[in-house]
Chains A and B, each alone.
Chain A
Amino acid sequence: MFPFAFEWIAEPTRYVFMGALYAVLIALIIILHYCAIRAFLDMICKKKNHNHH
């Protein structure tokens, strides 16, 4: 549930629970994207180097 949903009740436990859930999900998404972008850039650089030689 998101804080902007009408069913959201503003209580500390809800912020802790849902906050921790979203923090973990965001951390995992960032890690996956970081790795994918680095791998993509590596692949582009390798191709460029290959073409130069």
Chain B
Amino acid sequence: MDSASAPFDSALFPEGVKRCKFKWFLFWVAVLHGPIMVGVIGTLMCWGLALNVTYLNNNYPFGLWIAADLGIIALGGGAFFTGFLRYVVNIEELKNIVNYAVVIGVICYAAAQGILGIDIGQPLRGWFIFWHANVHSMLTEVAFCITCYFMVLCIEYLPLILENRQINKLGFFHGLAHHLHGAMPTIAAVGVFLSFFHQGSLGGVPGVLYGRPFAFREGFLVWPWTFFLAILSAIACGPCFTILVTWFTEKCAGKQLVKKNVIDILAKISGRLLVLYLILKILDTIVWVGLAKGVGAPFSSFYANQPYGYWVLITEIGILGIIPAMLLLSERVRRNEAGLIIACLLNCAGIFMNRWIIVVQTCAQPVMSFDKFVSYHPNWVEYATTLVFVWVGAVVIMLSYRYLPIFPQEKELNPL
């Protein structure tokens, strides 16, 4: 591309890559600002008029926001797990996708914290959980770990920003990026430690509710079995979400950004972990059925009220569990783009559904003989304030892709 036809911000692009014209970039950023503004209005309504503008109530103190929080954090698990595989297990090929996994992780964790900022109603009191910490609560552990892990992700994102072509010309920033890369195995190890605990605790929170037979599980020491299942499910679906977002970015950019063998490694690992997760999940379900029956809550009672019929269990474990696991295990399917993307979509949808069940269906189950089943549907304020982070995330991805060297193989795959 000659200098006359190059976009005016081309000096900021990574070396040897092509980007669209600045006016098109600006156009798409402006388009995304429409739904972002709707989300901002919803947020201001929640803060200004309190949470009665939502459909949350005493039956459902946890609704779409918390379910989305748990889902987003599980999907963002791709960042810590890819970092673990790259820096601790030392799978060299993953260096070509670990940067993008970090960007996705930053967006997911920022979204989770943003949603919590709206959900607590009074974000100015958000610091209470750190100062007046209830050290017997799994949610306190989650809050500590999510905050710290977000810091870790920001530190992992920092060298990418410093490697921008213009910033990198400054000696200090060039050196800082270099040394941060050197420290990355230590930072990744800290991230793994934090992620292990908060991913698990998010699954463990319903597991310790001994007053709710639908959610309660026995376990090991202070951790219910759902603690370990949540970790396994997060590391099984996180890489699939990274593959999905990478695929979508490639479609938007109109070019290949990561080699197939790198994607295949992630898909293969994800498939094997999903199989392990499903085996343990099915065992857990069988044990839970016996346990609940023993305390007077027969299996059928959990699926007696629509929309939470038996289809929920069949869909979660069968359609969104066993099918993607079989697809991901097959090398032929993994090599086929459509097959791989369908498998990843089903896997991610399955984990999201699991989080919805452990949050919303748990609240839905009547626990007292005089309790009545009450249904819950989120309203537009909840949807808008949840989806706002998807649109903001898209803008962050667009900025990162345009100005930062997040795809090391892009130059080789797309010579100018």
Residues on A facing B (Cβ under 8 Å): 1, 7, 11, 13-14, 16-18, 20-21, 24-25, 27-28, 31-32, 34-36, 38-40, 42-43, 46-47
Tell me if B133 and A1 are in contact (CB < 8 A): yes
| Complex Cα gap A14–B131 (Å) | 11
Query: B167-179 CB contact bits vs A (8 Å, 1 = yes)?
Result: 0000111111011
> B160 to chain A: closest CB distance in Å?
14
Q: 15 more A-B contacts (CB under 8 A) besides A32-B155, A39-B174?
A: A1-B131, A1-B133, A13-B135, A13-B136, A18-B133, A21-B144, A24-B194, A31-B183, A34-B179, A34-B183, A35-B180, A39-B178, A42-B175, A43-B171, A43-B175
- A27-B133 in contact given A35-B176, A43-B171 (Cβ < 8 Å): no
Instruction: Specify the main secondary structure of chain B where it touches its partner.
Output: helix
* 24 A-B pairs whose Cβ atoms sit less than 8 Å apart in the complex: A1-B132, A1-B133, A14-B133, A14-B135, A16-B135, A17-B133, A17-B135, A18-B133, A21-B148, A24-B193, A28-B148, A28-B155, A28-B190, A31-B186, A31-B187, A32-B155, A35-B183, A36-B176, A39-B174, A39-B175, A39-B176, A39-B179, A43-B172, A47-B171
B172 touches A40 (CB 8 A): yes
Closest to B147 in A: A21
Interface flag for B163 (CB, 8 Å): no
Q: Choose among A7, A11, A27, A39 the residue that contacts B172 (Cβ–Cβ < 8 A).
A: A39
- Give the residues in chain B near A13, CB-CB below 8 Å: 135-136
Interface residues of A: mostly helix, strand, loop or mixed? helix
Q: Which of B135, B155, B187 has the most CB of A within 10 A?
A: B135
Residues of A with C-beta under 8 A to B179: 34-35, 38-39, 42
Beta-carbon contact of A24 and B190 below 8 Å: yes
| Chain B 13-46 interface mask (CB, 8 Å, partner A; 1/0) | 0000000000000000000000000000000000
Chain B, residues 185-218, CB within 8 Å of chain A (1/0): the string is 0110010011000000000000000000000000
Q: Are B135 and A38 in contact (CB under 8 A)?
A: no
Residues of B within 8 A of A43 (CB): 171-172, 175
Give the distance in Å from the alpha carbon of A17 to the alpha carbon of B129 in the complex. Answer: 12
